[in-house]
Every structure is written in structure tokens, then in C-alpha cells.
Structure 1
Amino acid sequence: MAKTKQPPRTVSLGSGAYGHWIGSPGASHVLIWYHGGGFALPANRGYFKFFARLLADANKSQPNSLSVFCLSYTLAPHAQYPTQLRQAVDCLRHVLETHTPEKVLLGGDSAGGNLVGGVLSHLAHTHPEIKPINLSGAQIKGAIMLSPWTSLDSEFPDQDIDSRGDIVTEYVAGPWAGGYLGSAARDYYTDLSRAPTEWYASFPVERMLVCAGGTEIMLPLLEDLVGKMKAGRKVEFVVGERECHVAPVYHLYVGEGTETEQGKEVKVFLRECIGKAQ
């Protein structure tokens, strides 16, 4: 924030969670972002470069039309499921105090994409351990799932997966999944890929975008997830050719500034959602 000459705005959401405003809290639309990292790693500098790009693009033609509210949830194994999902829901609850659902978008990458699916699942099918949110028939404007980690399996014997050049492998997926779950049983909130088609059909969100890298280890799983979703609702799916897991963020983290195909599609999706809500 200092580098971009913006005042830091951090909000305590209670129970150890914090929300960070990038852009004005008074913007007409808010993109809530749940960061990835296997529930075990904090957000890195690449995320904030990514947010800056999204805001510059969205606000170019419509000033103050979008801000980002990024959640810092309690990392595993210091806390375990459903703590992070509860914090993600409470993050949305906080934003809904000042913005109506049709002015709110959800976004997340990898483990954060898991939380996007978990929050939408909670809105449609209340989690027994989390306080409900009543949207009164309204819908969230949009949801972005960037390489979402929606199956906590760490081995895929029945799928032909080539992870060369990827940043995620079965060697990290297993420990991260175990650290997040602890003693909890997996369910549709932790493993969205396991849910039946009717589970997704009732998600109260107007538009959904799922992105994946063409060379990432989870591509077959995401293709299967999107196929199931499309049987019950409309979902947009983009695969970035020769791109890795969470490429729009990872490229910026390592200093590669070339725009990714997935990043371009996220910008288009946001512009269209904001434009339709005016």
C-alpha cells in the first residue's frame, strides 16, 4: 500500500480474521478475494500486484467502480476446518453491511477457490456449524474461481496427469489437505468436486467463471467439476494454454509481467459484471 501511495485499511473481522481494503471501501462494487496457498501460506506480493491490475482496468472507464476486500484467514494447522470457511462467510457478511448482493463479487484462487465454493455452498445449503446469511432472494453478482482446489485427494491413479512445470504436486497436496482438515470428515464444503449437480444449481450467484492452466495438475479435475456444474447451471470456463496453476498471480510473484490468458478473462468478466449492474 505504501508503494502505491494508498493508506492501509485493515478491518478486524473477529476470531483472528482480518480484511484488507485495496481501493476505496466506498466503491460501488466490491470483489472479495480469498487467497490460496494450501490454507497454510499467507498471501504474497503477487496478489497485490494482481489486485492493482484488476482495479486499474475496472476503474479506467468507471472511476471508483471496484475495490478489493482481501481476507486474511487463520492459517492451518493453527486452525482447521471449518474455521477458515466460517471466516470467509463472515468476510462476506461484513461487506454486505454496506453493499447489496448485486454489488458484490466473490473471488479466490486454489485454496481460496475452495473457499469461494464453500461460501456459495453455505449460501445455498446452510453449514450446520456456521451462522446463515439471508440474501432475501437476491443473488451475488459474480464468482471467480481461479484454479480452485475442490478435491482434497492427493493421488489420482485413474487420471493421466502430467505435473511437469506446475507448482502444485501430490507431495504438497497431501500435507496441506491434512493440515486443513485435521480430524474433520470431508464433505461437499471441503470437496466441491464430490457434490452432485443439484448442489451447484441452487448457488445464489448470477455469473460464475472458472479458470485453469493448461499445464496444471488439477486440470482434469476442474474439467470434471465444470462439466457437472454445467448440467445444472451456466458456468464460464477458461483454460490458459501452457499456463500453470494460478498463473495470473504466480507470474507477478516471480516478476513475470506478461499478461496471462486467464488474467485477461478475469478482467473481461469483472468489466461485464460491473457494467451490467449500473
Structure 2
Amino acid sequence: MRVDLVIHPDVGSPERTILHIHGGGFVFGSTRTHRFLAAQMSRACRARVVLFDYRLMPGHSIGSSIRDCMTAYEWVAATYRDSPLVLSGDSAGGNLMLTVLSRLHSDGRRLPVAAVGMSAWLDPDYQHPAGAPRDSFFSLRFARRAADLAEPRSAITPLEAALPTVPVLLQCGAEEPIGPANHALVEQLDGNGVTAELQMWERQPHVFQMLAPFTREAVAALDAVDAFLSALNQREVPTKPSAARSTPPPPGA
């Protein structure tokens, strides 16, 4: 398994460690495709960011992908045991992120201090309503074809598994078809008293955070991730059920 450690030059001593699971519909993507995003995450969050290559469909099973994610998490947790550990993922990586959280909880293993999903693809069976706004960067046809490769299908339906018990931040474009599933997850977490927040960004494409530092929205979104994590450190994010909410982008975004 290839593992890349990314620390932005502007970061002196990292304050936290982020293990990021790259997206790509379970069929493509790598440390190379996401290294630039990792560098921007490192800068914004003053963190070391760990990327890794997991086995992809159709050459490998979805079970292999999940096992690689679990292995990477255990390695990072052991290697940086004295650093606050955050688990993140974009698109299909956000799906795998939730699966990892569920398995860690079920197995009684060390949990991360928080989880961050960027345009997390959580519902492979989503049907886009006729006439609804569409995000041209997210192809439902491609998503369904990729999802059909997964066996068993339940392996990529994390909303049906055990819910996370750690604070969760979700971000997505307001026109993305993955929005309803992200909102549903926040509502479920809210009902369980878990700190959660959904940030819907107007006129932003799928995984728009990858556009940092070239768009102000992408920069602001990564800064919002840092604000969420920093607030947890300062115990400013409430843990009562009302913590789950949907918010617009920060002023000026």
C-alpha cells in the first residue's frame, strides 16, 4: 500500500493528523490525484495529512477497499498516537469514511476525534427528482455503474450501518444530488445527540474543495473545516442534539 505524508510548507509543527480517504467512485483516484487537496487541507488545518492508495474495483472487491482503509487507519493511529486524529473523505471516500467509523465503533477500537466528509456519496441508490437542479460535475450514470460493481451492495450503504459517535462535519454543493443523503445523516446524528453540521455551498460543484486555493469558496470551506475542529478542541461545539444544523457558506463566500 502506498502512503503519502503531506505537510504544507507553511505549517511548522502540525497540530493534528488527518487521514484522508480519496474519492473516485471506488474505481479510480490515488495519492497523486489528491495530493494537492491534501496540501491545502494541511495549510488550512495546520495538520499533517496522510493519503494512501487502496485497492479499487473492478480489479478488486469493495471488501478489499474497506480492509485497506482499516489497515491505513490502524497504522496512522499507532504511528501518531499522541496527535489528535481526524478521519476525512471526499465523494466515495466519504462513503468509506463512514464504513470505517462504523467498524471501529463495533470493534471497540480507538475512534478519531472527528470526521469530515466533502461531498460524501452516501446513497448509491439515489434517484434525482425530475426538474431538480443538477451538478454537472457529478454523473449519476457513472455513480450507478460504479455502485453496481460492489458486492455486497450493503458494503456501500453506510446510512444503514451503525451511526458515527464522533463529531461530524459534512460539506457539499447545494445542487449536488448527494445533498439529501448528507442531510439525512445529520438528522440521524442529531437524534442520537452527536455533534454534527452540514454546510451547503451555493453554486459549488462536486468536491469543490479541490479548487483551493483558486476559488474563494474552496478556501473558505477548508477554513471552515479548521474552525470546526478548533472549536471541538476549545469545547465550543455543543454536544447536545441541537448541534446538528445546516448552514450557508460564511459571509462573502
In structure 1, the residue corresponding to 2:71 is in which secondary structure? helix
1:257 equivalent to 2:215? Answer yes
In structure 2, the residue corresponding to 1:149 is in which secondary structure? coil
What is the aligned counterpart of 1:91 among 56, 62, 72?
72
Q: Contact (CA 8 Å) 2:22, 2:51: kept in 1 or not?
A: yes
Q: Which residue is 1:129 aligned to?
A: none
Unaligned runs of 5+ in 2: 236-253
1:226 equivalent to 2:198? Answer no
Q: Superposed, which structure 2 residues align to 1:172-251 within 5 Å?
A: 172-179=142-149, 181=150, 184-187=151-154, 189-195=155-161, 199-200=162-163, 203-205=164-166, 207-232=167-192, 233-249=194-210, 251=211
CA distance in 1, matches of 2:234, 2:2: 29
C-alpha change, 1:275 and 1:41, in structure 2 (3 Å) is farther
| Aligned positions, number | 229
Q: Which residue is 1:51 aligned to?
A: 38
Question: What TM-score does the superposition give when structure 2 sets the normalisation length?
Answer: 0.79
Q: Which residue is 1:40 aligned to?
A: 27
Q: Contact (CA 8 Å) 2:45, 2:222: kept in 1 or not?
A: no
C-alpha change, 1:54 and 1:272, in structure 2 (3 Å) is farther
- Output the amino acid matched with 2:85: V
Q: Which residue is 2:57 aligned to?
A: 76
C-alpha change, 1:161 and 1:142, in structure 2 (3 Å) is farther
Greater shift in the superposed pair: 141-150 or 264-273: 264-273
1:193 Cα offset (Å): 2.3
Q: Which residue is 2:226 aligned to?
A: 267
CA distance in 1, matches of 2:54, 2:15: 25
Unaligned runs of 5+ in 1: 1-16, 60-65, 127-132
1:80 Cα offset (Å): 1.4
In structure 2, the residue corresponding to 1:168 is in which secondary structure? coil
1:47 Cα offset (Å): 2.8
CA distance in 2, matches of 1:91, 1:44: 13
CA distance in 1, matches of 2:181, 2:200: 13
C-alpha change, 1:266 and 1:28, in structure 2 (3 Å) is closer
- Output the amino acid matched with 1:50: L
Question: What TM-score does the superposition give when structure 1 sets the normalisation length?
Answer: 0.73
C-alpha change, 1:23 and 1:178, in structure 2 (3 Å) is same
- Output the amino acid matched with 2:198: F
1:177 Cα offset (Å): 0.8
1:172 Cα offset (Å): 0.5
Aligned CA RMSD, in angstroms, stands at 2.6
- Output the amino acid matched with 1:247: F
Q: Percent identity?
A: 23
In structure 1, the residue corresponding to 2:148 is in which secondary structure? helix
